[in-house]
Structure 1
Amino acid sequence: MSVRIIRTQDWADPVPPARREVRTATPELPDDTKPPVLFVPGFGHGAWAYAEHWMEHAAGRGFAVHAVSPRGHGGSEPAPRATLRAYAHDVVQVAAALPHQAVLVGHGAGALVVAHALARYPARAGVLAAPVFGGWATLGLALRRNLFGTLPAAFGGRLRLTRRQLFSRDLPDPAARGYLGRIGHASARAQWELLRARPPEQPVGDPPVLVVGTPDDRVVPRTALDNVARRYGGAPLLFPGMGHDLMLDARWQEPLDAILDWLEKGDH
């Protein structure tokens, strides 16, 4: 495994600073044996997506948890020209400011952002939930299942995902509509970079990486889940019957408990 030491672009074209939203939930009884967890949302989502369920539940299990909204997302500063590199920069900056080495958890396209961040930050572990690593195969699936919501994104417009793509039928319609109404969009440049699918570099320090998802995902093909997991030396942990937005769907607790169990049982 090779790790890049010098990145010319970082000093020739540094990422500009931006105000970032970070939400935090802490356990009533801090447990120093458990690493802090930093949640990273996917495109269009913000820290709010984790604050709905996952943050308080993880804190209840003794983990200090944080969620960052990368620039242009949630309550962070608008950034209409942001790049994937800028999103990864935001994650690294927040993680580096935590008092202990953190676990990075990314969802959707946020999993790709975490994968890029892992090449720059020596995380305790990484978790890639329903990872969207891009490429034309993912675009083809999205076009087949949501032509009019996906096609504008290929030309710099806004990506609009449907209830059926994001959630299972078990999630009540009022909740689904509420979540859909809160979803924004990433920058056109970042969306285009996602389609180009530049593979992330190898993680610094070879941390363990867990891939979780659902075989019923209508955004991420099952083959893509297998490929991402294989890249990190494992197989995906699957939760049938769930939608793409694992942290918001009706059975949100199941994948989160599995992630926390994995962190507790492993040497992370």
Structure 2
Amino acid sequence: MSERTVIVRGREWAHPVRPVRREVLAAAPEFDEGKPPVLFVPGYRHGAWVYAEHWLEHAASRGFPAYAVSLRGHGRSGPAPEATLRAYVHDVVQVAAELPRQAVLVGHGAGGLVVAAALARYPARAAVLLAPVFGGWGPLLTALRTNPVGTVPALFGGRLGLNRRQLFSPQVPDAVARGYLGRLDPVGRRAQWQLLRNRSLEPAVGAPPVLVIGSPDDRVVPPAQLNRAAGRYRAAPLLFPGMGHDLMLDVRWQEPLDALLDWLDKEQPG
């Protein structure tokens, strides 16, 4: 049986996602080179600020209009204590649809799962999944080993805790890492549970090219999951050894970003 795209989803008509204020940060290139806009999507507990630290301005300097959205309940977007994965996908699709040209979607961590699901609803030019957390027991077992104190409460409806060792390489100064950790947001319990379900994804609209980027030293996403995520798109992950889970905040942040933009220049010739 051939794959099909679902155009009308009865549940979404009957139970629409509640509207919410969305924070979108942006950086524009000095000259319009006709390159597609890039929409960066953070992972759970992270806001758009993680891309504003380094990536937005650098992407704009390479000629790409760059945007970052805070999912509801994160950053300066509206509060949403009972947010669901479906609501996060809605946020991404709505922001992407408002951009001036067909966009590239880039998702980090659990934001990679959000982007992968959004591809079934938005015809992206391309997509990049950064250290994607697609759910299931692999990341959970890794989290239990590296941060049991922060992970166990999440299994019983509490807040998911993240620590320095999970997110950052040893090269990130302690004071800088503490500052970043202090900016993390809570995430809704429903969204946390949905991440463990590891549901199958609908096929992407238009079969856009997809790149998976990660680190073999990531303490959130095990290498086997990076390989599985890339395998969904019949590719191999692009790896950056020695980096932590939060690639965009690492001291070597420019390396994966330049690789991402080089790939886009190749996939989307101007």
Report TM bin, short chain: over 0.9
- Mapped to 2, the partners of 1:188 and 1:244 lie a distance apart of 22
3-state SS, counterpart of residue 105 of structure 2 = strand
8 Å contact kept, 2:146–2:165:
no
TM-score by structure 1 length?
A: 0.98
Residue 125 (structure 2) aligns with: 124
2:39 matches 1:17: no
3-state SS, counterpart of residue 192 of structure 1 = helix
Residue 84 (structure 1) aligns with: 85
Decide which of 9, 12, 30 is 2:32's aligned counterpart.
30
In structure 2, runs of 5+ residues without a counterpart are none
- Mapped to 2, the partners of 1:257 and 1:7 lie a distance apart of 38
3-state SS, counterpart of residue 211 of structure 1 = strand
In structure 1, runs of 5+ residues without a counterpart are none
3-state SS, counterpart of residue 133 of structure 2 = coil
- The residue type equivalent to 2:121 in the other structure is R
- The residue type equivalent to 2:66 in the other structure is V
3-state SS, counterpart of residue 182 of structure 1 = coil
2:63 matches 1:62: yes
Percent identity between matched residues is: 69
Residue 39 (structure 1) aligns with: 40
User: Alpha-carbon deviations, 1:84-113, whole Å to 9, x = none?
Assistant: 000000000000001100000000000000
2:171 matches 1:170: yes
TM-aligned CA deviation for residue 172 of structure 1: 0.9
8 Å contact kept, 2:74–2:185:
yes
**Matched residues, number:** 267
- Mapped to 1, the partners of 2:169 and 2:130 lie a distance apart of 16
User: Alpha-carbon deviations, 1:161-201, whole Å to 9, x = none?
Assistant: 11011000111111111100001121110000001111221
Residue 236 (structure 1) aligns with: 237
User: Alpha-carbon deviations, 1:231-255, whole Å to 9, x = none?
Assistant: 0110000000000000001100000
User: Alpha-carbon deviations, 1:133-168, whole Å to 9, x = none?
Assistant: 011222111111111101111111111111011000
- The residue type equivalent to 2:30 in the other structure is E
TM-score by structure 2 length?
A: 0.97
- Mapped to 1, the partners of 2:246 and 2:259 lie a distance apart of 16
3-state SS, counterpart of residue 175 of structure 1 = helix
